[in-house]
Amino acid sequence: MSYYREMVQDMDDRQKLELVSILIESVKPAVAKTEADDEEYSLRPFTMEELNARIDQAEAEIAAGLGIDDEDVWHELEEEFAREDAEEDARQLAAYHKEEQLAWQAGRTVSQSDVDAFGGIEKCFAAEPIPDGVWARMQGKTYKENPYIGRDDLRHVRALHWDYDNQMHVGEMVVNAQIADRVVTILRQLFDAKYPIQRMLLPDVYDADDETQMRDNNSSCFCYRAVAGTTVLSKHARGLAVDINTLYNPYYKDRDDGTRYIQPATAADYCDRTWDFPYKIDHDDLCFRLFTAAGFEWGGDWTSCKDYQHFELIEE
């Protein structure tokens, strides 16, 4: 529209307003046809011959008293400009959100060029208030109405992580705001060291079923649930505990009747910590060292049961 703005500036006020009104009306059929053919369209400038013809037509209509009020013309022109500006803003915003959504989809395998396009490595690690879309996904799954913890107490963590095959992935967690910065720092340190974490998805992907997500070796934090095998609320219910590589670092408890309760049930082989296998956490492991240095205790050190995947905040 800048072309037409420049054209009308060289005319007197009456011609200017009348001409613009005629121009707008004259291009509407062409615009409608072009829009139907292609969503991406542009208006071509008039040639001098066409413009002179429009000017002659405008002058004839003015002489015949067929013009419209200046104020009405200018109001119509302003509305036309505003409509086009709003449509362009909407297109750009939609494109931006689509790009952001595709660029940050948890579980996606990404390359360094993807990271650069997203805004660089620093942007890939952050703790922020829970987005509306994430909060909606959590309802009735990891989040249930309760008197202890609400949306404002939690943070959405985004991160990158490597798997055992040296592939880079997008990950996300929901954690308590109290530990959010510490978790982001630890995940960044693990990433820089190329420490393998196979999956980092919200448990809501698994309908908040702990057994299912652990069998898939998923790493996560917040889930409003009880400690396995009990009715006592877990520190996961407050977002103060993080589980890492859960299949290979299971929870188990030996019962008085001689049976062993294991989660996930498919992880019996990994209860034996005397042999080497991928994703194993022990006292020499970087994950153990980083979490314990940041004020967490490791479930692998417990005596009443073992929870090798589990790091929970030590509270005073």
Q: What's residue 4's pLDDT?
A: 47
Share of residues in the chain with pLDDT > 90 (%): 61
Say whether pLDDT at 275 is over 70.
yes
What's the N-to-C CA distance of the chain in angstroms?
65
Report d(CA 221, CA 200) in Å as an integer.
10
Q: How far is CA 313 from CA 19, 144, 163, 290, in A?
A: 72, 22, 25, 13
Chain centroid to CA 182: how far? 20
Pairing of strands 168-176, 154-162: antiparallel
* Per-residue pLDDT, 59: 73
Picking from 229, 220, 175, 177, the residue whose alpha carbon sits closest to that of residue 200 is 220
Nearest to 23 by CA among 49, 4, 42, 6: 4
In a 13 Å sphere around the CA of 281, the CA atoms on its Cβ side amount to: 31
Beta bridge partners of residue 296, listed in sequence order = 313
The pLDDT confidence band at residue 29, using thresholds 50, 70 and 90, is low
Indicate whether 27 pLDDT > 60. Answer: no
For the cut 50, the answer to whether the pLDDT of residue 1 exceeds it is no
Q: How many other C-beta atoms can be found within 10 angstroms of the C-beta atom of residue 147?
A: 5
Model confidence, pTM: 0.69
Residue 91 has pLDDT above 50, yes or no: yes
> Which segment of 14-18, 28-32, 119-123, 286-290 scores lowest on mean pLDDT?
28-32
Pairing verdict, β 168-176 and 109-110: antiparallel
Count CA atoms closer than 13 A to 15's CA, side-chain side: 14
Dmax (CA) of the chain: 106
- The token pair that represents 6 in the structure block: 């420049």
Please check the confidence at residue 266 and state whether its pLDDT lies above 70.
Answer: yes
Q: Give the pair of three-digit tokens for residue 243.
A: 């589980």
Q: What is the mean pLDDT of residues 122-130?
A: 96
- Of the candidates 236, 251, 249, 242, the one whose C-alpha atom is nearest the C-alpha of residue 285 is 249
Question: Which sign does the torsion angle of CA 228, 245, 262, 282 carry?
Answer: negative
Distance CA 277, CA 184 (A): 26
Instruction: Decide: residue 43, CB within 10 A, 0-12 exposed, 13-18 middle, 19+ buried.
Output: middle
- CB-neighbour burial class of residue 40 (10 A; exposed 0-12, middle 13-18, buried 19+): exposed
Cis bond before residue 45 (omega within 30° of 0): no
* Coil vs helix vs strand at 312: strand
The CA-atom distances, in angstroms, between 271 and each of 191, 268, 310 are 26, 5, 14
Inter-residue contact 169 to 196 (CB < 8 Å): no
pLDDT the model gives residue 57 = 79
Amino acid at the residue 303: T
Radius of gyration of the chain (CA): 31
Percentage of residues in the chain with pLDDT exceeding 70?
Answer: 74
Mean pLDDT of all residues in 178-195 = 98
